[in-house]
Amino acid sequence: MKAKKRFTRFFTSLLLLIVITGCSTNKNVNTSDNTKDKASKDGGTLIIARLSDAENLDHHFMSTINAASVTHGKIYEGLVGRDQNAEIKPLLAEEWKQLDDTTWEFKLRQGVKFHDGTDFNAKAVKATFDRLLDPKVASPRAVVFKMVKEVKVIDDYTVQFILSEPFAPLLSILASHEGGIISPKTIEKYGKNIIKEPNGTGPFVFESWTPGQEIVFNKNKNYWGKPVSVDKVVFKVVPEESTRVAMLETGEAHIAEPLSVPMMETVEGSQESEVYRSEGFGTEYIGFNVQKKPFNDVRVRKAIAHAVEMDSILKGVYNNVGKKANSLLGSKVFGYHPDMKAYEYNLNEAKKLLAEAGYPNGFETTLKTMDSKERVNMAEVLQSQLKGIGIKLNIEVSEYGTFVEQVNKGDSEMFILSWRNATGDADYNQYNLFHTNSQGAAGNTFFYSNKEVDRLVEEARKEKDPDKRIELYAKSQEIEKEDAVYIPVRVIENMAAVRKNVEGFSISPSGYLEINNVSIK
């Protein structure tokens, strides 16, 4: 009852503000009544209010799930995908087999066309991966497929991936956004430049992108598979969470994401909306740029790890939403190490390590984070906790795109970040986050390099035996922990606010928004 009263007071004030300031994010957005009328006629327009925009719409240049979530499975499709249980399923390839350690053959689906009318075939698959792996294109995602030596056309609907070395998790990365197949005409048009008009085989067709405002897709009426129910989807950029949630109440939007823990109670008390929750593959963590002083000294990193009281952060900041993490692998990811322990809270040990590193009185540093409520709240708790060992922690909050750009190029000392494992396989985590070749935009924003970790990760990629792969990943995770490259926080729970008249929405464990089965009642 109290929650409902608080909710009513909150939205009375907020709706008054909307009326006074005219803060509707788009004058052409349907009202609640219009949306219902539209839905009854032709499927309607699904409006998703999001915290931040995509940094680009080109899968070969995307560095975040936030961006990939817009186009993956909607505009672009891969040879394989994942079903609702996260198991690999046929998509643009109807079947496949591994011919030997380094040769995979795929039989392609016939009768599929790209949005521009071009036929989908083996040449299109080759064109996509040739572009991705072309050094002149300089795709930051090329590292994910670095083991692909050649994509060979056997006939119009048969293609082979010839690898330079065995790579056990190939299907898992083909199912991620990096594996999306692009129209050859689009590749010819844009070449090595970032694609501004995505063109794939998916159930939605790109209409427009107004950076910083909205991305619009239309229903693909010629889709080869099961057609989507809605006629149009609009991804609107609405940085202020209270506005995003208010848009659901007024009918200006149907989904608001991400949803923060502080806003959960408000949505739970709503008559119009409800909270969507699901456990993800990803984790949230505090990272160090190990090449920047004083974090190039492992004793400093360990000291901070011992000075962070994580249970109070999980309870106070996250209200225990998302379970405590022991590494950067979520518990559902293949290769998760259940027996590994995070650093224990021990201020005396922390002070001792700082003194040994030459900082008996602490030091001053800066922690960078994106502009989300939980991240800022966590930063403030860290700021308070680290005072206990003499560290003055300055907090720098930036818009998401700016924050990611800074961290990717190494303009950081400490940072709060998450990694939403796109494949459900430890390789995607271990290679992208910790391998020397992945430093920077590919994922290793710690700028970490350890020859033994590199060796273990590379060996695990080649190993066919799942049990042996798990052993190799366990060893690499233990070394990363000993090197205190990061402090694990929690396993991410995907959360969103959804209007009660929306059915079929979900968020995959990888963090992709799943809207192909959405209908508006």
pLDDT higher than threshold 90 for residue 31: no
Lowest mean pLDDT among 50-54, 386-390, 418-422: 418-422
Rounded alpha-carbon distances, angstroms, from residue 10 to 4, 261, 270, 391: 10, 16, 11, 38
Q: What is the pLDDT of residue 15?
A: 40
Average pLDDT over residues 431-441: 94
Q: Record the tokens describing residue 374, joined without a space.
A: 């939980």
Q: What is the pLDDT of residue 22?
A: 36
Q: Is 135 helix (H, G, I), strand (E, B) or coil?
A: coil
CATH fourth-level superfamily of 2-70+199-278+494-520 = Periplasmic binding protein-like II (3.40.190.10)
Lowest mean pLDDT among 10-19, 296-305, 321-330: 10-19
Lowest mean pLDDT among 26-40, 244-258, 317-331, 366-380: 26-40
Q: What is the CATH number of domain 282-492?
A: 3.10.105.10
Domain range 80-190, its CATH number among 3.20.20.120, 3.40.630.30, 3.30.930.10, 3.90.76.10: 3.90.76.10
Q: What is the pLDDT of residue 21?
A: 35
Q: Record the tokens describing residue 183, joined without a space.
A: 């129209």
- Give the tens place of pLDDT for each residue, 77-114: 999 999 888 889 999 999 999 999 999 999 999 999 99
- Give the tens place of pLDDT for each residue, 412-423: 999 999 998 888
pLDDT higher than threshold 80 for residue 17: no
Q: What is the pLDDT of residue 108?
A: 98
d(CA 264, CA 267): 5
Cβ(328)–Cβ(281) under 8 Å?
A: no
Residue ranges covered by each domain of the chain: 2-70+199-278+494-520, 80-190, 282-492
Q: What is the pLDDT of residue 95?
A: 97
- Mean pLDDT, the chain, as a whole number? 91
- Give the tens place of pLDDT for each residue, 145-183: 999 999 999 999 999 999 999 999 999 999 999 999 999
pLDDT higher than threshold 90 for residue 10: no
Q: In percent, how much of the chain has pLDDT > 90?
A: 84
- Give the tens place of pLDDT for each residue, 450-464: 999 999 999 999 998
Torsion of CA 187, 191, 196, 199, to 10 degrees: 0
